Amino acid sequence: MNQNMPRAAVYTLGCRVNQYESDAVEAELESLGFAIVPFSAEADVYIINTCAVTAESERKSRQIIRRARATKPDAIVLVMGCFSQIKAEAVSRMEGVDYVCGNRNKLSVAEMAVKLLREGKRAAASAEVRDVEHAPLEKMSIPHAYRDRSYIKVEDGCDNHCTYCIIKKARGNVVSRPPEEVLGEVATIAAGGCHEVVLTGIEAAAYGKDLGGYPLSRLMVEAAKIDGIERVRAGSLEPSVMKPAFCDELAAEKKIMPSFHLSLQSGSNAVLAAMKRKYNREQVLGNVAYMKRVIPGVTFTCDIIVGFPGESEEDFLDTVDIARRIDFLHMHIFPFSPREGTPAATMKGQIPEDVKRERAHRLEEVGRELARARYERAIGQTRTVLFESREGEYFFGHAEDMLEVKMKTDEHLQGQILRVRLTDYDGARMIAVIDE
């Protein structure tokens, strides 16, 4: 690294879409002559890509902004993302912040970093936050893969009106990237050596509804046809999208991996209705059962909220029941957290914190039981594994069905996809050897 190059550090909170957008910002900074350094290092410019999905996310965003100021008080601090989209004025007033933008002009932080380094820090921050309901989708891309499994943003925004969620306000309605733009980006990173892509978005399942009905399933199939791509996955899916036609199209393409993450939230019809989700438990179970028939060995992970206002013990047990029926590989479990500005924050029947914690712990125990059984059933079977990282004498990676795998080896396996035999389970990961 040229010691005369300005140094920039980017910190990302929140979802995979935010991570993709941070990668695009880093690429833009590099094109303008910046060296990218870790956020813990001393830098000339700090950029914080914020989250606002929960009150805790907002608190963490404030904390990271303060950390940047403390690391180097005279550095330029720029803030973007959902927190700044929703509360631009509050972020602008934070000590040390020089520039604030929202979710439809994130690349502006790169040009602003150049300008502020040239002109010096301002007495007060400037803000350029566009109306997400009317601003066009920002054109951005990544020129190369930043990791062995690359996330590609395919859409922004959400058309749902879930009573617990603030993200529609931060991201606007669904806006899809043109398929040729997405596929062109996939081809670029494949040419650079990336073998696995995950097509993601704020509401990835809604991809194409504003493009005349070009569905996510078709985009996944087309991505799988690109030279160099060996694996294709989707980001979080709303269960209602998994209708037979969707499942059949994915089942016909062997490069689409048999593992899907469901934005489930609850297994209770009463709670799903109060959340204003677009499906019920019977639809979820029917769609999952169909996908299990056409894609043998498929696994599912999910997001679940426990302790939503009005959730009874019976409602909670419905969630436990659906978790067991679907046999989740992993569950991301969140005790309900009231989000200012959402209907659920003021609903009657708020659940006491100790009850929410107790239900979360019970569901986590169910999750551990299901995961252990799934992993132990896999002993003696074979898988193909993308190896992604090394720690000590082991290389770690993920199988096609998202089982976590480790293998003891002296070889450098970074980015390789190898067929292995699963010999044991250590309580966290499968232990593997090369399948001879």
Give the span between the Cα atoms of 142 and 415, in whole angstroms: 18
Residue 3 has pLDDT above 80, yes or no: no
Residue 1, burial from CB neighbour count under 10 angstroms (0-12, 13-18, 19+): exposed
Can you say how many angstroms the Cα of residue 415 is from the centroid of all Cα atoms in its chain?
21
Check the CA dihedral 293-294-297-298 and report its sign: negative
Q: Give the tens place of pLDDT for each residue, 222-281.
A: 999 999 999 999 999 999 999 999 999 999 999 999 999 999 999 999 999 999 999 999
Tokens 């059984």 -> residue: 373
pTM for the complete prediction?
A: 0.93
DSSP letter string over 46-110? EEEEE--SSHHHHHHHHHHHHHHHHH-TTSEEEEEEHHHHH-HHHHHTSTT--EEE-SS-TTHHH
Parallel/antiparallel/unpaired status of strands 45-50 and 35-36: unpaired
Q: Give the tens place of pLDDT for each residue, 188-223.
A: 999 999 999 999 999 999 999 999 989 999 999 999
What is the H or E stretch that residue 368 is in?
helix 353-377
Give me the domains of the chain, ranges plus CATH numbers. Answer: 7-128 (3.40.50.12160), 149-377 (3.80.30.20), 382-434 (2.40.50.140)
Q: Give the tens place of pLDDT for each residue, 340-396.
A: 899 999 999 999 999 999 999 999 999 999 999 999 999 999 999 999 999 999 999
Is the CB of residue 311 less than 8 Å from the CB of residue 351?
A: yes
Looking at every residue in the chain, the average pLDDT score rounds to 95
Six-digit token string for 113: 């970093």
Average pLDDT over residues 106-118: 95
Residue 2 has pLDDT above 70, yes or no: no
